[in-house]
Amino acid sequence: MTDAADNQQIRIDTEAAEWVIRQGGDKFTSQDQQSFKAWMAASPLHQQAFQRASALWSGFDAGGRKKQVKARRAAGYVATTGLAGLGIFALSFHLGWFDPSSWLADYTTGSGQIRTIHLTDGSIAELDSRAALNIRYTDGERRVVLVKGEAYFTVAPVAGEERRPFIVEAASGTSTALGTQFMVARDGDDVDTTVTEHKVRVTVNKQSGLTQSLIVAEGQGVHYGPGGLTDTYNAELSKLTAWRHGQVVFDNEPLVNVINRLNHYSHGRIMVFKPGVMQRRVSGVFACADVDNALITISQELHLKVVSVGRLVTLLY
């Protein structure tokens, strides 16, 4: 799923949470009910999100949401926990957390895990959280296939007896090393290549059947997808590669982008159940391995509360 699609899902989840909270209040009018019906009818995604939000929010008292009566509390808790688990499990498939395409990959990383791989030619591949990589070396080329996630490559140069090019295949394109260090990030059909040392040739096969190719210089990045290549751009190298040092960096970024990135390292799903906060700005440097502490800090800055349902979901409200 692309960042845009993931942000859309977060927006829909947030709208669903707002409807759950509003329905539990004392001022839910007939006009509100009509607006709610129109929202539900607009998309099956709205209906699915509302079902998840209703299951997750049951049993919590947030902003006027009524608690379950005592006689039903124990049974309701068990049922709610089960529904929450099913909802998160289904959402996990939707977001690609349980991605069968990576199950048989040569190398993978789990949530919050960063892994260094020493390849047979002396090159090094570093995998970010939730990444998958296949090695396809032959006598004619050193090809690796990035199935998903982000990987940073330090390439053994073409020199001496090593004459094979080093190629990273991702989705519809390839990145061929003309130097030594670069990063490739794949999210579905969307790929970004960022060069930290020397140059990389990026080649893409467009849906139209045409082929595009360009050279990306040190300090630059390029994006490609089914529509082809974009122009190169100046990359924020220290920020983009901070995960190699176990950090994630935000510089005046909207909360929706921050939650999207932290979900990349979280063992469960992070959701925001508070109207109007998704565009609030966040800055900070956090440890990839300690998402809980990042959420505590962010919630304090934005005056939010945090509650977790086991390791399945964390709610900010």
| 253-280 pLDDT, tens digit each | 999 999 999 999 998 888 887 778 988 9
Q: Which residue has the higher pLDDT, 264 or 75?
A: 264
Amino acid 34: pLDDT: 87
State residue 59 phi and psi, 5-degree precision. Answer: 90, -10
Amino acid 8: pLDDT: 75
Q: What is the pLDDT of residues 211-262, one digit of tens each?
A: 999 999 999 999 999 889 999 999 999 999 999 999 999 999 999 999 999 9
Amino acid 168: pLDDT: 98
* β-bridge partners, 192: 185, 223
Position 1 confidence tier, pLDDT thresholds 50, 70, 90? low
Amino acid 67: pLDDT: 37
Amino acid 21: pLDDT: 66
pLDDT at 101 exceeding the cut of 80: no
The whole-model pTM stands at 0.73
Amino acid 95: pLDDT: 45
Amino acid 2: pLDDT: 57
pLDDT at 70 exceeding the cut of 60: no
| Cα–Cα distance, 290 to 214 (Å, whole number) | 39
Give kind and range of the element (H or E) at residue 12.
helix 3-23
Token pair, residue 172, equals 């519809």
Amino acid 206: pLDDT: 84
Within 138-256, strands assigned E span: 142-154, 166-170, 173-177, 181-187, 190-197, 200-205, 211-216, 220-225, 228-229, 233-234, 247-254
Give kind and range of the element (H or E) at residue 134.
strand 132-137
Amino acid 25: pLDDT: 56
Residues in the chain: 317
Position 93 confidence tier, pLDDT thresholds 50, 70, 90? very low
| Cα–Cα distance, 116 to 285 (Å, whole number) | 22
HSE, side-chain direction, 13 A CA sphere, residue 82? 6
Residue whose entry in the numeric block shows the structure tokens 């090695």: 135
